[in-house]
Amino acid sequence: MSTDEKKYRGYVGVFDSGVGGISVLREMIRELPNENFYYFGDSANAPYGEKTVEKVQELSMSIVDRMVNEGCKAIVVACNTATSAAVRLIREKYEKTMPVIGIEPALKPAAREEHHGRILVMATPVTLRLEKYHELSGRLAGEAEFIPVSCAGLADRVEKGNLDAADVTQMLEQMIGPYRGQIDGIVLGCTHYPFLKKQIHSVMGDVPLYDGGRGTARELHRQLSRHGLLNKGEEPGRVVLDSSLKTEEEMKIYRQLLDADIE
C-alpha cells in the first residue's frame, strides 16, 4: 500500500469488540484534543467477553494488522477482554515500531481510594478468567477485598442501545443488586459499562465507580510524547468512527454514545 493509500496515516488507531471502547475514546479526545483518532468497533463479532481466547486473539490481530497497514501511528486496545487475551501478542509484533497501549480494570485506583474496603469488580467472563486479572487482584489483595462478578450478556446489551429501557436495570439488579449496601466501590471492568453509570447508581446507590479510561488516555499521552508522535497542530483533531457492522442504525448508536452525557 502506497503512502497515498494509507488513509489513517498519523491517526491513533483505537479498537474494541463493539461500542464499549467509545467510553475510552471520549477520555482520549479530552486528554488529546488535537490528535486524530480512528475508532473501529467489531460489533459484528461482539461480545468478545464470551468467546474463546484464541478467537479474541485472531480477531484482535486482524484489526490491528489492518490499522497498521492503513498508517496508524499508535494502537490502543480499548477493550479489557482483548487486552487480557491479545495485547501481549500485539506488542510482540508491533511495539518496536509504535506505541501499543492496553486497558486494564481500575483495581489499583479503586484500592487506593477505598483502602481495605470491599470492591465489586464487574467484568466479562473472559477478563475474570485470564491471568492478567488474577495477577493484578492478587498483587493488591492486601489493600482491598475484590469481589468479582461475571456480567455475561451485559456488554451485548449495551451494543443494542436504548440503555434507559427497563430490561437494563433488571439485568443489573440480578447481577449486582444482591451486593447493595455491602460494598465500598465498583470497578467497571469492561469498557461498555461506563455507559451504564446512571443505571448502576439507580441499583446500587451513590457508590464510587472506577474505570480505566482516564488512565489509558494519560498513558497514550505519555507514550506519544516519549516517541515524538504528538500532533503539533492547534486545530481540533478528526475522529473517524467505523464498525464491522456497517448499518445506519449501528453507526447512529456509535455517534450517540460518543456524544452521550454519562458523567
pLDDT per position as a tens digit, 164-198: 999 999 999 999 999 999 999 999 999 999 999 99
Which residue bears the cell 491513533?
12
Q: How confident is the model at residue 261 (pLDDT cuts 50, 70, 90)?
A: confident
pLDDT given for residue 246 in this prediction:
87
Catalytic residue chosen out of the listed positions 67, 79, 183, 241: 79
What is the pLDDT averaged over residues 18-45? 97
155, 20 Cβ separation under 8 angstroms: yes
C-alpha cell at position 14: 483505537
Q: How confident is the model at residue 263 (pLDDT cuts 50, 70, 90)?
A: low
Domains, the chain, ordered by start? 3-103+213-259 (3.40.50.1860), 107-210 (3.40.50.1860)
Beta strand pairing status for 12-16 and 74-77? parallel
202: helix, strand or coil: helix
16, 78 Cβ separation under 8 angstroms: yes
Neighbours of 182 (CB within 10 A): 10
Catalytic residue chosen out of the listed positions 59, 76, 190, 253: 190
Does the annotation mark 190 as catalytic? yes
Does the annotation mark 72 as catalytic? no
59, 48 Cβ separation under 8 angstroms: yes
- The predicted-structure confidence for 63-111, as pLDDT tens digits, reads as follows 999 999 999 999 999 999 999 999 999 999 999 999 999 998 999 999 9
